[in-house]
Amino acid sequence: MSAPAIATLVGFLRLPRVRRRIVVGAALAGCFVWMMVVVGLAFALIERGVDQWWAILVFGLAVLVVAVAVAGGFRRAPAAAALPTPATRPAPVPVVVAPSGLTRVPVEPLSPREREVLAQLAAGRSNREIAAALFVAPGTVKAHLNHIFQKLDASTRLQAVAHAREAGLLVGDD
């Protein structure tokens, strides 16, 4: 494979959706292998004349159910913790008018998702915290921040928030 093809493949594998599908496929393969072992062991017990051969099937199924429940709990726990509550929602920020009396206008309008990222940014959240709150990867937050910086003509997080306030993109009480 050529270097660009490898770079494209690596970039593709970094997508959260692709990673999720790979993990699900690996989990399904693991479940299949586990059940094959359990069924094989049950047949071995039957061949040896063990009367309670069915117990290994019950045990194998119970372990499988517990593993799936635990995996589902791990997957859901961060998402549930990331849901904003009234206490953790970012407070709206007031509009600050530029000293000249004119409001700053962004070079290009922000998308609704960029506005959500901007509100989280104004609340002082880190990239990881923003990613958790918006259910996206930290890399996606970085991409949104780069777009926000370009559109607001800012080079830092603080500048982006200040320019957004001047443009009237952040409204409400402090």
pLDDT of res. 68: 78
Q: Are residues 67 and 147 in the same domain?
A: no
Q: Are residues 29 and 90 in the same domain?
A: no
Q: Is 133 helix (H, G, I), strand (E, B) or coil?
A: helix
Nearest to 117 by CA among 87, 152, 157, 145: 145
Tell which of 82, 114, 148 closes a domain.
Answer: 82
Q: Are residues 98 and 172 in the same domain?
A: yes
pLDDT of res. 124: 92
At residue 65, what is the residue type? V
Query: What pTM was estimated for this model as a whole?
Result: 0.42
Question: Which residues lie below 8 Å from residue 44, measured CB to CB, with a gap of 6+?
Answer: none
CATH of the domain at 118: 3.40.50.2300
Are 173 and 95 in contact by the 8 Å Cβ rule? The answer is no
Q: Are residues 112 and 77 in the same domain?
A: no
| DSSP of 19-64 | HHHHHHHHHHHHHHHHHHHHHHHHHHHHHTT-TTTHHHHHHHHHHH
**DSSP for residue 103:** P
pLDDT of res. 53: 85
Q: Tens place of pLDDT for every residue, the chain, 174 residues?
A: 777 778 777 777 778 888 888 888 888 888 888 888 888 988 998 899 988 888 888 888 888 888 877 777 655 545 445 555 555 555 554 444 445 555 666 678 899 999 999 999 999 999 999 999 999 999 999 999 999 999 998 999 999 999 998 888 887 644
Tell which of 55, 82, 109 closes a domain.
Answer: 82
Phi and psi dihedrals of 117, rounded to 5? -65, -40
Q: Are residues 75 and 116 in the same domain?
A: no
pLDDT of res. 172: 60
**Domain region containing 93:** 86-174
**DSSP for residue 74:** H
Q: Are residues 73 and 91 in the same domain?
A: no
Tell which of 61, 82, 103 closes a domain.
Answer: 82
Domain count, the chain: 2
Q: Are residues 20 and 94 in the same domain?
A: no
